[in-house]
Amino acid sequence: MSMLTRNLDLFDPIDAAVGERSTPEEQLEVIAGFVRGCVLCGLGRNRRHAVPGEGGARAGLMIVGEGPGENEDLQGRPFVGRAGELLDKILAAAELPRPSVFITNIVKCRAADMVDGKLVNRPPQAPEVNACRPYLVRQVEIIQPLVILCLGAPAARGVIDNNFNITEQRGRWFEGPYGSRLIATFHPAFILRRGGAGAGARELKKLVWEDMKKVMEALAD
Ligand code: SF4
C-alpha cells in the first residue's frame, strides 16, 4: 500500500467545495485555491507563492517532486529552474510534452532555512509532508493517472514508502491508488549537482532514461 491514502472525514470543506465542481479542471482549481491560502504547516509563513502544480487534468502521467525551490516560489509554478529545464529535456525525449503531464510536489511551499541572512533550500520534514499530503491525495483522486513518477528520495518516501531507498528501489513498480502504478527515479537537481556533463552525471542520466522507458511503456499499455 502506498502513502497516498487518507481518512475520510465526516465533513470536509475541501471535499465539499470540490464536489460542487463538475470537471477535473475545475476541481483541480478548487484544490489550488485551498493550497494558495494554506497555513497548515510552517512552510506557509515564508512563501512568496504556493505551488499547487500544473498540467493536464486528465494526464496519464503525474510527476511528483520534493518541493518548490527559489524560482518556483517566485513564480508559483513547479520545476521552472535549472532542474525544470532538465526535466523538460527528459520529457521532450520521451515525447511527453508538459501539458500532457501533471507536475506537482509532495509539499506545495518552499522548504528553506535562513543561513547567514540567506534562505537555503532543505528537504521538507515529515510533519510538513504529512500536513501537505491531503492535497496531493486529492489531486491523484481527481486526475487518476496511470503512472505516478516520483523524482528523488524525499518524494518517493512521501508517496511510495517511508523507508524508500532511491539507489536500490528506483525503477521498480509499486501499486498505487485507483489502479495507478508508482515508480521513482533520481531528481534532475541531483544530476545537476553531479556536474551535469561529467561521468557521474552521465551514468545517472542513463539510469533515469532506463526508468523513463519503463514509464513510456506503461503509458502505452
Ligand atoms: S506546504 Fe502544504 S501544508 Fe504546508 S502551508 Fe504549504 S500548502 Fe499548506
Q: What CATH number does residue 198 fall under?
A: 3.40.470.10
In a domain, 8, yes or no: no
Residues of the domain holding 156: 13-220
Ligand 1 center from residue 210 Cα (angstroms): 33
In a domain, 186, yes or no: yes
**Cell, residue 21:** 465542481
In a domain, 6, yes or no: no
In a domain, 189, yes or no: yes
In a domain, 42, yes or no: yes
Q: What is the pLDDT of residue 10?
A: 64
Site to substitute for ligand 1 among 41, 110, 137, most atoms within 8 A of C-beta: 41
CA distance 138 to 14: 9
Give all strands (DSSP E) within 154-200, no chain letters.
174-175, 181-185
Least confident of 12-16, 153-157, 194-198, 215-219: 194-198
In a domain, 2, yes or no: no
Ligand 1 atom 4: residue of nearest CA: 41
Q: How many domains does the chain have?
A: 1
**139 in Cβ contact with 27 (< 8 Å):** no
List, chain by chain if needed, residues with CB within 6 Å of any ligand 1 atom.
35, 38-41, 43-44, 50, 107-109, 128, 131-132
**150 in Cβ contact with 104 (< 8 Å):** no
Rounded to 5 degrees, φ, ψ at 35 are -60, -45
In a domain, 199, yes or no: yes
CA distance 110 to 122: 9
* pLDDT tens-place string over residues 50-105: 999 999 999 999 999 999 999 999 999 999 999 999 999 999 999 998 888 999 99
